[in-house]
Amino acid sequence: MTNYTPKPEHKFTFGLWTVGNRGRDPFGDVVRPGKTPVELVHLLAEVGAWGVNFHDNDLVPIDATPAERDRIVRDFKAALAETGLCVPMATTNLFFDPAFKDGAFTANDPRVRAYALQKTMNAIDLGAELGAKVYVFWGGREGTETDAAKNPMESIKRSREAMNFLCEYALDKKYDLKFALEAKPNEPRGDIYNSTTGHMLAFIQTLDHPEMVGVNPEVAHEHMAGLNFVHGVAQALDAGKLFHIDLNDQAFGRYDQDFRFGAVNMKSAFFLVKLLEDNGYGGSRHFDAHAYRTEDYEGVKEFARGCMRTYLILKEKAARWNADQEIQAILAEINADDGSMSRYFGKYSSEKATTLKDESFDRPALGARGLNYERLDQLTVELLLGVR
């Protein structure tokens, strides 16, 4: 029987804003009392997390004096030292303050754009001081409700200029930091720029320092867009760009629900964990989610424990799937290759092209062959349901 206790090597992390979420929504007020960052670090240690992430203002209020900042950071460091938690990732809040109502790096007002750069440089300093190695950018307000308001070409240029400036800043300061860009199709803006992980991957290639910039895909965000998250993450892995990941869950077609990992789409959560584990993903497993609004802090701990436990159960299921003889026999059959076609694959040559054009194929036989995917999927379902 496997032990599903989280350990440091699993690299499970939570943001201060996740377990610290107080349940406010557009229709109702907070339902849980506030906890300080120090209290949240202790809560995370109690449930067995490895690391804690934060936005600048989750830790230091936006209007704190330098003396207050220093005291808060000192207390936070003491809590980290006491509990053994680390800070693998930090990020900037560029969405809450009314100054950012029209965006940060893409706002039409140049003073807002300059303030956003200043705020981000200070937040990068804070993250680096606490040991963060990944810096996330989520531009929740970088978008429009009406395209009359902003020129989309100009917005792309502004986003690029901001990322280039901040890459140079991190290099100038000699921080050991990589950037991870997080896409979301909408919410809070009507439409957000670079709306999917695929858009972000293409955008990164246009930057001055593409090597230090990757992605932070989030389950809920790709599902909001109706996309297959596993495929998006595979593309990021293939590009060597999966620097971070936001795990949660979400019913298709809904607003951003931020449910506990695996709470809704069990099968896609399984194939995601299998993808990450089979391919040796070495980064944080960050849960960007929060407890139901119905919960008190005991429920919040249940939520956090549940995210990690489900991940570990799915990891065990993935190992079982890889070891299951019947499943593997079907896979072997599906991928059978007698080598007779190998001469046509790989690098192009005009000779290859000519021989391939002369080859004859039994098209009806190709189409008539049953592939046994029904059996394969049912075996997967039974394995997940615990009867295999």
Q: Say whether 278 sits in a helix, a strand or coil.
A: helix
Which among 162-170, 215-223, 340-348, 372-380 is the span making contact with Mn ion, rule CB under 5 A? 215-223
Which one of the listed residues 56, 58, 246, 288 is annotated catalytic?
58
* 58 is an interface residue for ligand GCO by CB under 6 A: no
CA-CA-CA-CA torsion for 21, 259, 286, 120, nearest 10 degrees?
-50
DSSP annotation string for 298-332: HHHHHHHHHHHHHHHHHHHHHHHHHH-HHHHHHHH
221 as an active site residue: the answer is no
Q: Which is nearer to Mn ion, 219 or 275 (CB)?
A: 219
Q: For helices 110-129 and 152-172, give the axis angle rounded to 10 degrees.
A: 30
Of positions 135, 138, 259, 271, contacts ligand GCO by CB under 6 A: 138
Q: What is the Rg, in whole angstroms, of the alpha carbon atoms belonging to the chain?
A: 23
Specify the DSSP element, H or E, that contains 200: helix 197-204
Of positions 59, 136, 213, 269, contacts ligand GCO by CB under 6 A: 136
- Residue 56: burial class (beta carbons within 10 Å; 0-12, 13-18, 19+): buried
* 222 is an interface residue for Mn ion by CB under 5 A: no
- The interface mask with ligand GCO, positions 234-263, x = CB under 6 A, is ------------x---------x-------
Q: How many residues does the chain have?
A: 388
58 as an active site residue: the answer is yes
Q: Which is nearer to Mn ion, 262 or 327 (CB)?
A: 262
Answer with the entry of Mn ion, ligand GCO, none that 142 interacts with (C-beta below 5 to 8 A by kind): none
- The interface mask with Mn ion, positions 281-300, x = CB under 5 A, is -------x------------
Give 10's DSSP letter: G
Of positions 11, 133, 141, 184, contacts ligand GCO by CB under 6 A: 184
* 321 is an interface residue for ligand GCO by CB under 6 A: no
CA distances from 367 to 333, 337, 370, 374 (A): 16, 17, 8, 17
Residues lying near ligand GCO in the complex (CB under 6 A) are found at 55, 91, 136, 138, 140, 182, 184, 218, 246, 256, 288
Residues identified as active-site: 55, 58
